[in-house]
Amino acid sequence: MPSLKDLKNRIDSVKSTRKITSAMKMVAAAKLRRSQEAAEAGRDYTLRMDRMVQSLAASFAGVDGAPELLAGNGADQTHLLVVFTSDRGLCGGFNGSIVRETRRRIADLKSRGKTVKILCVGRKGRDQLKGDHKSLIVDAVTGLGGKSGIQYAEATQLRDKITGMFEAGEFDVCSILFNRFQSAMTQVVTLKQLIPFTASAVNDPGVKAGDEGGLKASYIFEPEEEEILKALLPKNLGVQVFQALLESAASEHGARMTAMDNATRNAGEMIHNLTLTYNRTRQAYITKELIEIISGAEAL
């Protein structure tokens, strides 16, 4: 049986843990509000950008000479997975669910005889995947989103890295895996194919039925299609990557807030139980001492 002093020490240590987790919860909640606003505000732009590229892609369907970023390079052998995780832990199942999905995708692609390459965004994803898929990780980007949140310039750097690899012929198909922010409690693991562009990339809610009417129309282009595509495609990639970063950041803070809320509650429960045990033990000691004194007096 633990002594009174041991119990007291444990209660104190759980109390200080609770202080830390509740502080982390507050910080995450404050960050969540900002990043959630950013992620939700960016959705409008991303959605419409997607729609515009889709219109362009539709007019290019079946035509030779479409840019490779749009139509792909014809091959389907090497797949690049860009995995968005966080740099820091203590955020519940946030990184775990992404890594699990990544492993599933890798196994799936490998079983079909494809080559897989992984680009990790965030330290946690790299650390977790390093164990069993070290040879597949081509690069890792960490430390995104400083004090002022995710910057668009960071997304363009990442985009340039991806397009650079594509132009160097290092992969044929590029997909991103990230947590889409739904609420502080729920994040949805989302897979989106970036290169070649797929119409199925537009599965966002908010695309109203009947919107497809405009897609089949033949568009007038000013300037030439090639020129617009040359400007629009990298732009679209940048925006998609940016949005993924924003969604991932919002999801991370949401997940951390929920996890820390749970941790704080559990710590409270533990303190309650330990305090009960402490008091019982204290009473038992007093009773024991009383019995000793009384029986001592009787013996005289």
**Cβ–Cβ contacts within 10 Å for residue 63, how many?**
9
Instruction: Please check whether residue 11 is in contact with residue 270, taking contact to mean a CB–CB distance below 8 angstroms.
Output: no
Beta bridge partners of 173: 79
Task: Decide whether 174 or 239 has the Cβ nearer to another protein.
Answer: 239
> Of the ranges 27-35, 36-44, 82-90, 184-192, which one interacts with another protein (CB under 8 A)?
36-44
**Cβ–Cβ contacts within 10 Å for residue 193, how many?**
15
Does 185 bind another protein (CB under 8 A)? Our answer is no
Instruction: Please check whether residue 119 is in contact with residue 210, taking contact to mean a CB–CB distance below 8 angstroms.
Output: no
**Among 45, 88, 107, 262, which residue interacts with another protein (rule: CB under 8 A)?**
45
**Among 213, 296, 297, 299, which residue interacts with another protein (rule: CB under 8 A)?**
213
Task: Decide whether 15 or 51 has the Cβ nearer to another protein.
Answer: 51
Q: How far is the CB of 41 from another protein (least distance, A)?
A: 5
Q: Is 95 exposed, middle or buried (0-12, 13-18, 19+ CB in 10 A)?
A: buried
Does 148 bind another protein (CB under 8 A)? Our answer is no
Task: Decide whether 27 or 58 has the Cβ nearer to another protein.
Answer: 58
CA angle, 161 then 227 then 119, to 5°: 15
Question: Judging by DSSP bridges, how do beta strands 115-121 and 78-84 pair with one another?
Answer: parallel
CA angle, 26 then 27 then 33, to 5°: 90
Q: How far is the CB of 170 from another protein (least distance, A)?
A: 21
Any catalytic annotation for residue 174? no
Task: Decide whether 221 or 285 has the Cβ nearer to another protein.
Answer: 221
Does 227 bind another protein (CB under 8 A)? Our answer is yes
CA angle, 263 then 269 then 274, to 5°: 120
Does 242 bind another protein (CB under 8 A)? Our answer is yes
Does 61 bind another protein (CB under 8 A)? Our answer is no
Does 44 bind another protein (CB under 8 A)? Our answer is yes
Distance CA 106, CA 165 (A): 19
Q: How far is the CB of 233 from another protein (least distance, A)?
A: 11
Instruction: Please check whether residue 118 is in contact with residue 129, taking contact to mean a CB–CB distance below 8 angstroms.
Output: yes
Does 226 bind another protein (CB under 8 A)? Our answer is no
Does 220 bind another protein (CB under 8 A)? Our answer is yes
Distance CA 117, CA 136 (A): 5
Does 157 bind another protein (CB under 8 A)? Our answer is no
Distance CA 81, CA 129 (A): 12
Active-site pick, 24, 91, 244, 257: 91
Instruction: Please check whether residue 121 is in contact with residue 158, taking contact to mean a CB–CB distance below 8 angstroms.
Output: yes
State the DSSP code for 168: T
Give residues 70-129 in contact with another protein (rule: CB under 8 A).
none
Q: How far is the CB of 200 from another protein (least distance, A)?
A: 20
Q: Which residues are catalytic?
A: 91
Give the binding site for another protein (CB under 8 A): 38, 41-42, 44-45, 48-49, 51-52, 55-56, 152, 213-214, 217-223, 227-228, 231-232, 235, 239, 242
